[in-house]
Amino acid sequence: MSKTTVFEGPIGVLGLGVCVPNRILSNADLEKMVDTTDEWIVTRTGIHERRILEDHQVPSDIAYQAAKRAIEESGVDPSEIGALIYCTYTPDHFMPPTACILQHKLGIGSGLCYDMNAACTGFIYGLQNAYAMIRSGMAKKVLVIGCDCASRIVDYTDRNTCILFGDGAGAMVIGEVPEGRGILGNMAGCDGAGAMLIYQKVGACAFPMTKQNIDTKDRYMQMNGREVFKFAVKIVTDAVEAALADAGLDVKDVDLLVPHQANVRIIQAAQERFNFAEEKTVITMDKYGNTSAASIPLALDDARKRGKLKVGTTCALVAFGAGLTYAASIVRW
């Protein structure tokens, strides 16, 4: 197939793989580090524990394992993969792109490789990029990896942020799938007016790291939790409805809601809006916390292990993140 040939068949998931670090950071551990309690954390977020990178690890270590598992499940030879999209806000380095490091380690073909930063929305943005590439004929198979290790940029004296985030990685091989399956509808957007509601001030070109600021809190993630919460409660349902409209489907056609795992109260608001039963909603933040770009694939993997995700299951994937970015995709497994 040449690059100018539009592919008209169904496009979907050929393989899924995930990886989380072995180290567990529990609420009891955080009680010893910051002014908080297990009850306070669980009541406000639904999180009991999260996974954290070991000091000797880098994010691409777990990203590699997740990608390797996805490729193995897909049955695709790595050399057949025409593009690699690495979704993250915690790359190994500002340059080179972590995608290029992973391309070499995985033995992937010499096609497009790039890092994408859409924060917690990253994986769905990456999934939609992969879909567009294959539909346009630029690639036949695309590897999408979502990996974030917020433990490297979180202030463990700030209870408003450190209780929320965990580290993890998830990956999918995207390509042609049998008729009746695949990605059925998409929507994506951004409200840049809220860009500074979640930010890391120091470290990039606007505020380079200096002797004066290297030990200040400006090098850590900052978040206006109240405003982000208000944005998320509305955008989650709006995004799902828009993606369903693109797919020509209705809420009643959704078998499984797979939301970004940021806060259990945001998910509960979506359940109420859609009148979704709890068993039709995937919640994994209790054991992983908010894993940012890895959140969606980790949730899908968990649902599959629990028997909730099977061939033919229609899923609504939805996420939001710094930017403020947001996106939703309707996928029939």
The answer to whether residue 260 is catalytic is yes
CA 119, CA 13: separation in Å to the nearest integer? 22
For residue 78, what are the CA distances in angstroms to 82, 182, 261?
9, 21, 30
Q: Report the relative pairing of strands 314-321 and 325-332 from DSSP bridges.
A: antiparallel
The answer to whether residue 120 is catalytic is yes
**Phi, psi angle pair for 301, to nearest 5°:** -60, -45
DSSP letter assigned to residue 281: B
Which of the following is catalytic: 149, 186, 290, 315?
290
Rounded to the nearest 10 degrees, the angle between the axes of helix 122-136 and helix 295-305 is: 90
Dig out the tokens for 23 from the structure. 């180290």
CA 152, CA 220: separation in Å to the nearest integer? 9
The answer to whether residue 186 is catalytic is no
Q: Which of 223, 239, 149 is nearest to 191 (CA)?
A: 239
CA 56, CA 220: separation in Å to the nearest integer? 20
b/e map 187-214, b = 16+ CB within 10 Å:
bbbbeeebeebbebbbbeeeeeeeeeee
Residue 108 near residue 76 (C-beta atoms within 8 A): no
Dig out the tokens for 326 from the structure. 């947001």
For residue 73, what are the CA distances in angstroms to 19, 68, 70, 173?
14, 9, 5, 9
Dig out the tokens for 111 from the structure. 């096609």
Residue 320 near residue 189 (C-beta atoms within 8 A): no
CA 249, CA 140: separation in Å to the nearest integer? 27
Which of the following is catalytic: 120, 147, 149, 315?
120
Dig out the tokens for 132 from the structure. 């567009």
Which of the following is catalytic: 87, 260, 263, 315?
260
CA 284, CA 91: separation in Å to the nearest integer? 24
Point out the residues that are catalytic.
Answer: 120, 260, 290
